[in-house]
Amino acid sequence: MGDALADHYLEDALANFRDYKKLAEKALDQTADEELFLSLDEEANSIAVIMKHMSGNMVSRWTDFLTTDGEKPDRNRDTEFVVAPGTGREDLLTVWERGWNCLFMALEPLTADDFSRKVLIRGEEHSVAEAISRQLTHYAYHIGQIVFLAKHFRSKEWKSLSIPRNRSVEFNAYLTEKPLEGSKREGRFDAPQRFISETKTKD
């Protein structure tokens, strides 16, 4: 991978991680404390379990990312799916931030030269780009679950985080008329929020 391509890939990956983190947190903001711990059935995970699992995965994958296997010997994955009694929202957010901090501390210092290296996940060799893409898709999957559950619990009170229903044509016209000024990258989920805020039409 050339230096320019590696730099662009890393910049885009970091932006996507930040976008998905923000999306999950906007969903969490709409969720009542008790709803964080509810599951739809005996086989389903609660938002709390998903947050705990994601953090455990992040700490394992991103600690010493370039030099150790991403599946750390001290990780107990099964316990990530159990929420201890007395756990509250703040406890979950502390665990959540710990995971994301590991991710950003590992990725932000990477250079183009690092993309020529190989890393291991459960003994399987990955390029750095493959390892990043693997985790990006994994976290997007779980964040989709968080948003789904938050929307389910809020029902008619849900405030849309994406293009509101039956307003796609209006949204596309809005982007044509009001593109983002300057060269600053807009988060992939920010434009719908800007549209909702500025048009102030009921979803």
Type of residue numbered 196: I
Band (21; pLDDT cuts 50, 70, 90):
very high
| H or E stretch covering 118 | strand 118-121
Is 201 a residue whose pLDDT tops 90? no
Q: What is the pLDDT of residue 189?
A: 77
Question: CB atoms < 10 A from the CB of 77, how many?
Answer: 11
Distances (CA, A) of 68 to 87, 111, 121: 31, 18, 9
Q: What is the pLDDT of residue 186?
A: 66
Which tens digits make up the pLDDT trace of 64-108?
999 999 999 999 999 999 999 999 999 999 999 999 999 999 999
d(CA 197, CA 173): 15
Distances (CA, A) of 137 to 18, 144, 175: 13, 11, 27
DSSP 3-state of 152 = helix
Q: What is the pLDDT of residue 163?
A: 78
Q: What is the pLDDT of residue 180?
A: 65
Domains and CATH numbers, the chain: 3-158 (1.20.120.450), 160-203 (no CATH)
